[in-house]
Structure 1
Amino acid sequence: MNTPELETERLRLRRFTAEDAAAILAIFGDVEANTFLPWFPLKSLEEARQLFERQYQPVYRAERGYQYAICLKEDDIPIGYVKVDLDESHDLGYGLRHEFWHRGIAAEAARALVEQVRRDGLPYLTATHDVNNPNSGAVMKKLGMVYQYSYEEQWQPKDIPVLFRLYQMDLDGNSGRPYLQYWEQSRVHMVEQGI
Protein backbone atom coordinates (compact mmCIF):
# COMPACT_ATOMS: atom_id res chain seq x y z
CA MET A 1 0.00 0.00 0.00
CA ASN A 2 1.22 3.49 -0.82
CA THR A 3 1.98 5.51 2.33
CA PRO A 4 1.07 2.85 4.91
CA GLU A 5 0.13 4.28 8.30
CA LEU A 6 2.86 4.07 10.93
CA GLU A 7 2.65 4.29 14.71
CA THR A 8 5.16 4.98 17.44
CA GLU A 9 4.72 5.28 21.18
CA ARG A 10 3.36 8.83 20.92
CA LEU A 11 2.65 9.37 17.25
CA ARG A 12 0.49 8.36 14.34
CA LEU A 13 1.96 8.96 10.88
CA ARG A 14 -0.73 9.08 8.23
CA ARG A 15 -1.64 10.74 4.97
CA PHE A 16 -2.69 14.36 4.98
CA THR A 17 -6.31 14.76 3.86
CA ALA A 18 -8.30 17.65 2.43
CA GLU A 19 -9.88 18.04 5.90
CA ASP A 20 -6.41 18.91 7.30
CA ALA A 21 -6.28 22.34 5.60
CA ALA A 22 -6.27 24.26 8.91
CA ALA A 23 -3.49 22.03 10.28
CA ILE A 24 -1.51 22.39 7.04
CA LEU A 25 -1.83 26.16 7.37
CA ALA A 26 -0.63 25.98 10.99
CA ILE A 27 2.43 23.92 9.99
CA PHE A 28 3.42 25.66 6.76
CA GLY A 29 2.31 29.07 7.98
CA ASP A 30 4.47 28.91 11.12
CA VAL A 31 7.00 31.69 10.48
CA GLU A 32 9.55 30.36 12.97
CA ALA A 33 9.34 26.79 11.66
CA ASN A 34 9.67 27.98 8.07
CA THR A 35 12.81 30.05 8.69
CA PHE A 36 14.96 27.14 7.52
CA LEU A 37 12.62 25.84 4.81
CA PRO A 38 12.81 26.97 1.17
CA TRP A 39 9.30 28.28 0.71
CA PHE A 40 7.56 31.30 2.14
CA PRO A 41 5.06 30.70 4.98
CA LEU A 42 1.47 30.11 3.89
CA LYS A 43 -0.99 32.88 4.66
CA SER A 44 -4.45 31.43 3.99
CA LEU A 45 -6.57 28.30 4.01
CA GLU A 46 -6.76 28.53 0.23
CA GLU A 47 -2.95 28.38 0.01
CA ALA A 48 -3.03 25.37 2.36
CA ARG A 49 -5.56 23.62 0.12
CA GLN A 50 -3.43 24.37 -2.94
CA LEU A 51 -0.34 22.97 -1.21
CA PHE A 52 -2.24 19.78 -0.37
CA GLU A 53 -3.34 19.38 -3.98
CA ARG A 54 0.08 20.20 -5.43
CA GLN A 55 2.40 18.45 -2.98
CA TYR A 56 0.50 15.57 -1.41
CA GLN A 57 -2.23 14.39 -3.77
CA PRO A 58 0.18 13.34 -6.56
CA VAL A 59 2.24 11.29 -4.10
CA TYR A 60 -0.85 9.58 -2.71
CA ARG A 61 -1.99 8.67 -6.23
CA ALA A 62 1.40 7.14 -7.11
CA GLU A 63 2.24 3.47 -6.70
CA ARG A 64 4.62 4.26 -3.84
CA GLY A 65 5.23 7.33 -1.72
CA TYR A 66 6.34 8.49 1.70
CA GLN A 67 4.71 11.83 2.61
CA TYR A 68 3.30 11.77 6.13
CA ALA A 69 1.43 13.99 8.53
CA ILE A 70 2.89 13.70 12.04
CA CYS A 71 0.00 13.49 14.52
CA LEU A 72 -0.08 13.03 18.27
CA LYS A 73 -2.13 9.92 19.03
CA GLU A 74 -4.22 11.84 21.56
CA ASP A 75 -6.00 13.98 18.95
CA ASP A 76 -4.80 12.89 15.45
CA ILE A 77 -4.29 16.52 14.35
CA PRO A 78 -1.20 17.07 12.16
CA ILE A 79 1.56 19.05 13.91
CA GLY A 80 4.25 18.47 11.32
CA TYR A 81 5.39 16.32 8.44
CA VAL A 82 8.02 13.73 7.61
CA LYS A 83 8.84 12.48 4.12
CA VAL A 84 11.31 10.59 1.96
CA ASP A 85 11.63 11.53 -1.70
CA LEU A 86 11.85 8.72 -4.24
CA ASP A 87 14.26 10.46 -6.59
CA GLU A 88 17.94 9.47 -6.57
CA SER A 89 18.66 11.51 -3.42
CA HIS A 90 16.14 9.59 -1.25
CA ASP A 91 16.00 12.80 0.77
CA LEU A 92 14.56 12.57 4.27
CA GLY A 93 12.82 15.76 5.38
CA TYR A 94 10.77 16.84 8.38
CA GLY A 95 9.21 19.90 9.93
CA LEU A 96 7.21 20.67 13.07
CA ARG A 97 5.26 23.62 14.38
CA HIS A 98 7.69 25.41 16.67
CA GLU A 99 5.70 24.80 19.87
CA PHE A 100 6.45 21.06 19.46
CA TRP A 101 10.22 21.44 19.12
CA HIS A 102 12.70 19.93 21.59
CA ARG A 103 10.48 16.99 22.55
CA GLY A 104 12.08 14.32 20.35
CA ILE A 105 9.04 14.22 18.07
CA ALA A 106 10.88 14.75 14.78
CA ALA A 107 13.39 12.00 15.60
CA GLU A 108 10.64 9.62 16.72
CA ALA A 109 8.67 10.16 13.51
CA ALA A 110 11.74 9.98 11.28
CA ARG A 111 12.93 6.77 12.96
CA ALA A 112 9.61 5.08 12.15
CA LEU A 113 9.83 6.20 8.52
CA VAL A 114 13.47 5.08 8.23
CA GLU A 115 12.46 1.60 9.36
CA GLN A 116 9.60 1.52 6.84
CA VAL A 117 11.78 2.48 3.87
CA ARG A 118 14.44 0.01 5.02
CA ARG A 119 11.80 -2.77 4.96
CA ASP A 120 10.70 -1.56 1.53
CA GLY A 121 14.23 -1.84 0.15
CA LEU A 122 15.51 1.72 -0.27
CA PRO A 123 19.32 1.46 -0.36
CA TYR A 124 20.19 4.70 1.46
CA LEU A 125 18.83 8.04 2.68
CA THR A 126 20.24 11.54 2.57
CA ALA A 127 19.19 14.59 4.55
CA THR A 128 20.40 18.18 4.53
CA HIS A 129 20.20 21.08 6.94
CA ASP A 130 21.12 24.75 6.89
CA VAL A 131 24.33 25.22 8.93
CA ASN A 132 22.42 27.85 10.92
CA ASN A 133 19.92 25.19 12.02
CA PRO A 134 22.05 22.73 14.03
CA ASN A 135 18.97 21.29 15.78
CA SER A 136 17.95 19.69 12.49
CA GLY A 137 21.41 18.18 12.20
CA ALA A 138 21.05 16.82 15.74
CA VAL A 139 17.97 14.87 14.60
CA MET A 140 20.00 13.39 11.72
CA LYS A 141 22.73 12.32 14.14
CA LYS A 142 20.17 10.75 16.49
CA LEU A 143 18.97 8.63 13.59
CA GLY A 144 22.51 7.41 12.95
CA MET A 145 23.09 9.45 9.82
CA VAL A 146 26.71 10.39 9.06
CA TYR A 147 27.96 13.78 7.87
CA GLN A 148 29.40 13.68 4.33
CA TYR A 149 30.05 17.25 3.13
CA SER A 150 28.77 20.83 2.98
CA TYR A 151 27.69 22.76 -0.10
CA GLU A 152 26.13 26.09 -1.03
CA GLU A 153 22.86 26.38 -2.92
CA GLN A 154 20.83 29.36 -4.10
CA TRP A 155 17.59 28.35 -2.38
CA GLN A 156 14.33 28.82 -4.24
CA PRO A 157 11.84 30.39 -4.10
CA LYS A 158 13.44 32.54 -1.36
CA ASP A 159 16.41 33.14 -3.70
CA ILE A 160 19.02 33.24 -0.93
CA PRO A 161 22.40 31.50 -0.69
CA VAL A 162 22.38 28.76 1.96
CA LEU A 163 25.25 26.56 3.15
CA PHE A 164 23.92 23.04 3.74
CA ARG A 165 25.38 20.00 5.46
CA LEU A 166 24.54 16.66 3.87
CA TYR A 167 24.15 13.54 6.00
CA GLN A 168 23.66 10.01 4.73
CA MET A 169 22.52 6.65 6.07
CA ASP A 170 23.14 3.39 4.20
CA LEU A 171 20.24 0.99 4.65
CA ASP A 172 21.49 -2.00 2.66
CA GLY A 173 24.94 -2.52 4.21
CA ASN A 174 26.70 -1.07 1.17
CA SER A 175 28.58 1.83 2.78
CA GLY A 176 31.17 4.04 1.15
CA ARG A 177 29.05 5.50 -1.64
CA PRO A 178 28.34 9.12 -0.71
CA TYR A 179 25.60 10.82 -2.69
CA LEU A 180 27.61 13.40 -4.66
CA GLN A 181 25.07 15.25 -6.81
CA TYR A 182 24.96 18.35 -4.60
CA TRP A 183 28.77 18.41 -4.33
CA GLU A 184 29.09 18.24 -8.10
CA GLN A 185 26.42 20.88 -8.75
CA SER A 186 27.82 23.42 -6.28
CA ARG A 187 30.84 25.58 -6.96
CA VAL A 188 31.19 26.09 -3.20
CA HIS A 189 31.64 22.82 -1.34
CA MET A 190 33.85 21.49 1.42
CA VAL A 191 34.22 18.86 4.11
CA GLU A 192 34.01 20.60 7.47
CA GLN A 193 36.08 19.20 10.31
CA GLY A 194 34.62 18.24 13.69
CA ILE A 195 31.01 17.82 12.52
Structure 2
Amino acid sequence: METERLRLRRFGADDVELLVELDSDLEVMRFLTGEATPREVIVREVLPGMLRVYGEHPGLGTFAAEEKDGGAFVGWFGLQPTARPATVDVGYRLNRGAWGKGYATEGTRMLIDYAFTELKVDRVVADTMAVNHRSRAVMRRSGLRFTRLWHEHFDDPLPGTEFGEVEYAIDRRTWEAGDRA
Protein backbone atom coordinates (compact mmCIF):
# COMPACT_ATOMS: atom_id res chain seq x y z
CA MET A 1 0.00 0.00 0.00
CA GLU A 2 1.22 3.48 -0.79
CA THR A 3 0.34 7.11 -0.29
CA GLU A 4 1.94 10.09 -1.98
CA ARG A 5 4.91 9.99 0.42
CA LEU A 6 4.69 6.68 2.30
CA ARG A 7 5.00 3.01 1.55
CA LEU A 8 3.29 0.56 3.91
CA ARG A 9 4.41 -3.04 4.20
CA ARG A 10 3.89 -5.97 6.51
CA PHE A 11 6.22 -6.29 9.46
CA GLY A 12 8.61 -9.24 9.47
CA ALA A 13 10.73 -11.05 12.03
CA ASP A 14 13.68 -8.76 11.22
CA ASP A 15 11.79 -5.63 12.34
CA VAL A 16 12.21 -6.04 16.11
CA GLU A 17 14.66 -3.15 16.46
CA LEU A 18 12.34 -0.75 14.60
CA LEU A 19 9.58 -1.49 17.10
CA VAL A 20 11.93 -1.33 20.09
CA GLU A 21 13.14 2.11 19.04
CA LEU A 22 9.61 3.37 18.41
CA ASP A 23 8.23 2.06 21.70
CA SER A 24 11.24 3.33 23.67
CA ASP A 25 10.37 6.98 23.16
CA LEU A 26 8.38 8.10 26.20
CA GLU A 27 6.71 10.91 24.24
CA VAL A 28 5.49 8.40 21.65
CA MET A 29 4.15 6.20 24.46
CA ARG A 30 2.74 9.07 26.55
CA PHE A 31 -0.95 8.40 25.81
CA LEU A 32 -0.56 4.63 25.39
CA THR A 33 1.23 3.08 28.33
CA GLY A 34 3.30 5.98 29.62
CA GLU A 35 6.42 3.82 29.56
CA ALA A 36 8.75 2.10 27.12
CA THR A 37 7.78 -1.37 25.95
CA PRO A 38 10.53 -3.79 27.02
CA ARG A 39 12.39 -5.45 24.14
CA GLU A 40 11.46 -8.93 25.41
CA VAL A 41 7.76 -7.98 25.30
CA ILE A 42 8.13 -6.88 21.69
CA VAL A 43 9.97 -10.10 20.81
CA ARG A 44 7.58 -12.46 22.64
CA GLU A 45 4.21 -10.69 22.37
CA VAL A 46 3.97 -7.56 20.23
CA LEU A 47 5.62 -8.70 16.98
CA PRO A 48 4.21 -12.26 17.08
CA GLY A 49 0.75 -10.76 17.67
CA MET A 50 1.17 -8.49 14.64
CA LEU A 51 2.27 -11.42 12.46
CA ARG A 52 -0.62 -13.57 13.68
CA VAL A 53 -3.22 -10.98 12.59
CA TYR A 54 -1.96 -11.16 8.98
CA GLY A 55 -2.88 -14.86 8.82
CA GLU A 56 -6.08 -14.75 10.85
CA HIS A 57 -7.58 -11.61 9.28
CA PRO A 58 -6.57 -11.21 5.62
CA GLY A 59 -6.11 -7.57 4.65
CA LEU A 60 -5.87 -6.40 8.25
CA GLY A 61 -2.90 -5.85 10.49
CA THR A 62 -0.18 -3.44 11.51
CA PHE A 63 1.96 -2.14 8.68
CA ALA A 64 5.43 -0.60 8.82
CA ALA A 65 5.44 2.88 7.26
CA GLU A 66 8.49 4.05 5.36
CA GLU A 67 9.18 7.24 3.46
CA LYS A 68 9.15 6.59 -0.27
CA ASP A 69 12.04 9.01 -0.63
CA GLY A 70 14.90 7.29 1.19
CA GLY A 71 13.04 4.47 2.92
CA ALA A 72 13.28 5.84 6.48
CA PHE A 73 11.02 4.06 8.98
CA VAL A 74 8.45 6.57 10.30
CA GLY A 75 6.28 4.24 12.39
CA TRP A 76 3.25 2.12 11.73
CA PHE A 77 -0.39 2.26 10.67
CA GLY A 78 -2.90 -0.44 11.42
CA LEU A 79 -6.35 -1.76 10.69
CA GLN A 80 -7.48 -4.15 13.39
CA PRO A 81 -10.52 -6.39 13.69
CA THR A 82 -13.10 -5.42 16.31
CA ALA A 83 -15.88 -7.31 18.08
CA ARG A 84 -18.40 -5.37 15.98
CA PRO A 85 -19.43 -6.90 12.64
CA ALA A 86 -18.01 -5.22 9.50
CA THR A 87 -16.12 -2.68 11.66
CA VAL A 88 -12.36 -2.16 11.80
CA ASP A 89 -10.22 0.00 14.06
CA VAL A 90 -7.65 2.31 12.47
CA GLY A 91 -4.59 3.43 14.37
CA TYR A 92 -1.03 4.67 14.05
CA ARG A 93 2.16 5.19 15.99
CA LEU A 94 4.85 7.44 14.54
CA ASN A 95 8.41 8.28 15.49
CA ARG A 96 8.64 11.72 17.03
CA GLY A 97 10.77 12.85 14.07
CA ALA A 98 7.79 12.16 11.79
CA TRP A 99 5.35 14.30 13.79
CA GLY A 100 3.99 17.48 12.25
CA LYS A 101 4.60 16.40 8.65
CA GLY A 102 1.07 15.26 7.85
CA TYR A 103 2.04 11.58 7.72
CA ALA A 104 -0.50 10.52 10.35
CA THR A 105 -3.40 12.02 8.40
CA GLU A 106 -2.06 10.79 5.04
CA GLY A 107 -1.67 7.20 6.21
CA THR A 108 -4.94 7.14 8.13
CA ARG A 109 -6.92 8.45 5.15
CA MET A 110 -5.36 5.82 2.92
CA LEU A 111 -6.30 3.01 5.32
CA ILE A 112 -9.85 4.32 5.66
CA ASP A 113 -10.20 4.31 1.86
CA TYR A 114 -8.66 0.83 1.70
CA ALA A 115 -11.06 -0.45 4.38
CA PHE A 116 -14.10 0.68 2.42
CA THR A 117 -12.91 -0.14 -1.11
CA GLU A 118 -10.93 -3.35 -0.66
CA LEU A 119 -12.20 -4.82 2.60
CA LYS A 120 -15.82 -3.72 2.08
CA VAL A 121 -16.34 -2.83 5.73
CA ASP A 122 -19.31 -0.78 6.92
CA ARG A 123 -17.56 1.29 9.57
CA VAL A 124 -14.09 2.47 10.61
CA VAL A 125 -13.44 3.55 14.20
CA ALA A 126 -10.51 5.00 16.15
CA ASP A 127 -10.04 5.86 19.79
CA THR A 128 -7.65 7.72 22.09
CA MET A 129 -7.51 9.45 25.43
CA ALA A 130 -9.71 12.57 25.48
CA VAL A 131 -6.65 14.67 26.36
CA ASN A 132 -4.68 13.49 23.30
CA HIS A 133 -5.54 16.55 21.22
CA ARG A 134 -3.00 15.86 18.46
CA SER A 135 -4.44 12.42 17.75
CA ARG A 136 -7.97 13.77 17.89
CA ALA A 137 -7.01 16.39 15.28
CA VAL A 138 -5.59 13.65 13.02
CA MET A 139 -8.84 11.71 13.36
CA ARG A 140 -10.90 14.76 12.36
CA ARG A 141 -8.62 15.60 9.41
CA SER A 142 -8.86 11.97 8.28
CA GLY A 143 -12.64 12.20 8.00
CA LEU A 144 -13.58 10.54 11.27
CA ARG A 145 -16.20 12.16 13.47
CA PHE A 146 -16.56 12.20 17.22
CA THR A 147 -19.06 9.56 18.35
CA ARG A 148 -18.66 9.08 22.09
CA LEU A 149 -16.82 9.69 25.33
CA TRP A 150 -16.51 7.00 27.99
CA HIS A 151 -14.60 6.31 31.19
CA GLU A 152 -12.66 3.19 32.05
CA HIS A 153 -11.10 2.10 35.31
CA PHE A 154 -7.33 1.54 35.24
CA ASP A 155 -5.39 0.22 38.22
CA ASP A 156 -2.45 2.49 37.30
CA PRO A 157 -4.01 5.35 35.31
CA LEU A 158 -2.02 7.68 33.08
CA PRO A 159 -2.25 11.42 33.70
CA GLY A 160 -5.41 12.62 31.94
CA THR A 161 -7.27 9.32 32.26
CA GLU A 162 -9.85 11.04 34.45
CA PHE A 163 -11.08 12.93 31.37
CA GLY A 164 -12.02 9.69 29.61
CA GLU A 165 -11.53 8.01 26.27
CA VAL A 166 -13.02 9.16 22.97
CA GLU A 167 -14.11 7.33 19.84
CA TYR A 168 -14.24 8.74 16.33
CA ALA A 169 -15.80 6.91 13.37
CA ILE A 170 -16.98 7.09 9.79
CA ASP A 171 -19.56 4.83 8.17
CA ARG A 172 -19.73 3.69 4.56
CA ARG A 173 -22.62 6.01 3.63
CA THR A 174 -20.79 9.08 4.91
CA TRP A 175 -17.55 8.00 3.24
CA GLU A 176 -19.27 7.32 -0.11
CA ALA A 177 -20.96 10.72 0.02
CA GLY A 178 -17.55 12.31 0.50
CA ASP A 179 -18.95 14.00 3.58
CA ARG A 180 -15.77 14.02 5.61
CA ALA A 181 -15.23 16.18 8.64
Q: CA deviation at 1:141?
A: 0.6
CA contact (8 A) 1:90 1:126 kept: yes
SS in structure 2 opposite 1:56?
A: helix
SS in structure 2 opposite 1:85?
A: strand
- Structure 1: how far apart are the matches of 2:135 and 2:57? 30
2:140 equivalent in structure 1: 141
- Are residue 169 (structure 1) and residue 170 (structure 2) matched? yes
2:93 equivalent in structure 1: 95
Q: CA RMSD in A?
A: 2.3
- Structure 2: how far apart are the matches of 1:99 and 1:155? 30
1:152-187 per-position Cα deviation (integer Å, ceiling 9, x unaligned): 12347x555451121110124599xxxxxxxxxxxx
Matches within 5 A, 1:25-174: 25-38=20-33, 40-44=35-39, 46-50=40-44, 51-53=46-48, 55-64=49-58, 65-87=60-82, 88=84, 90-119=88-117, 120-155=119-154, 158-160=156-158, 161-162=161-162, 163-173=164-174
TM-score (norm 2): 0.82
- Structure 2: how far apart are the matches of 1:154 and 1:70? 33
SS in structure 1 opposite 2:105?
A: helix
Q: Which amino acid aligns with 2:166?
A: R
Which of residues 3, 6, 11 is equivalent to 1:11?
A: 6
Q: Could you list the runs of 5+ residues in structure 2 that have no partner in the other structure?
A: 177-181
- Structure 2: how far apart are the matches of 1:130 and 1:173? 24
- Structure 1: how far apart are the matches of 2:175 and 2:19? 37
SS in structure 2 opposite 1:33?
A: coil
The count of residues paired between Structure 1 and Structure 2 equals 167
Which moves more between the two structures, 117-126 or 66-75? 66-75
Structure-2 change in CA distance of 1:29 and 1:174 (3 Å): closer
